[in-house]
Every structure is written in C-alpha cells, then in structure tokens.
A = this chain, B = another copy of it.
C-alpha cells in the first residue's frame, strides 16, 4: 500500500483507539454518531460522503478531507464528479481552499493509483 495512505490510516486507528479507551461517554457517542451520519438513508451513501467532503474542504481540514476522499472512492465517485465537488468547495470557500485542493488531488490520485497497482 502507498506509504502516505498507510501512515494516515495507522495514526488514525491508533489514536481513535487511544481516545475511546478513555471512556468519555460524550466522545464515544459522537464517534458513533459520526459513523451513522453517512449511512444510506433518504440520500444515498455516495451523496452523503460528497456532502461530508465538501464540508471538510470549506472548513479546511486535511485529515477530514482524506477520510472522505477514501469513502468517496469506496462509493465509486468518478474523477469527473470529484472535480465538481472540488469546484463547489473552491467557489464557496474561495482561493483559500486551493492549497487543500492540491493535497486532495494528490491523495485522490494515490487512492486511484492504489487500485491499479494492486490489480
């Protein structure tokens, strides 16, 4: 697996586990709720993940962006669709979103390359 992807996932898992081990009820429930939010409902999971992504982009959180990029990839968002999510984020959030878009594009390319490489 691509090193940057692996590192991101490993740190994420390790620290989530560490945080949850503290038994703070509010945090545990929020983490739980977070997972439920993106489950298929009136809207398909794919749409919800794109909503999560665009929200993460305008709030400019690189780790949240990576997470939703992974989920969007699993939900079979195409690169053309992804560019349109990027365009909404950049228009609403302004050019301040561009550096995050650069890193998002790079990570998206890694995710896509990942599959080709694995096949």
Q: Count this chain's copies in the assembly.
A: 6
Min CB distance A115 to B, Å, is 18
Q: With A84-B41, A94-B92 known to touch, is A99 a contact of B26 (CB < 8 Å)? A: no
CA distance A98 to B89 in the complex (A): 15
Q: With A93-B96, A106-B15 known to touch, is A51 a contact of B50 (CB < 8 Å)? A: yes
Q: With A25-B36, A26-B87, A33-B29 known to touch, is A18 a contact of B97 (CB < 8 Å)? A: no
Q: Which of A's residues lie within 8 Å of B, judged by CB?
A: 11-12, 15-16, 18-19, 22, 24-27, 29-31, 33-34, 36-38, 41-43, 47-48, 50-52, 54-64, 78-81, 83-99, 101-103, 105-106, 109
Query: 14 other contacts beyond A18-B106, A62-B99, with CB at 8 A cut-off?
Result: A12-B102, A24-B84, A29-B29, A30-B87, A30-B95, A37-B87, A37-B88, A42-B81, A47-B50, A48-B88, A54-B55, A91-B95, A92-B95, A94-B94
The 4 tightest CB contacts between A and B, nearest first, are A94-B94, A63-B99, A15-B102, A42-B80
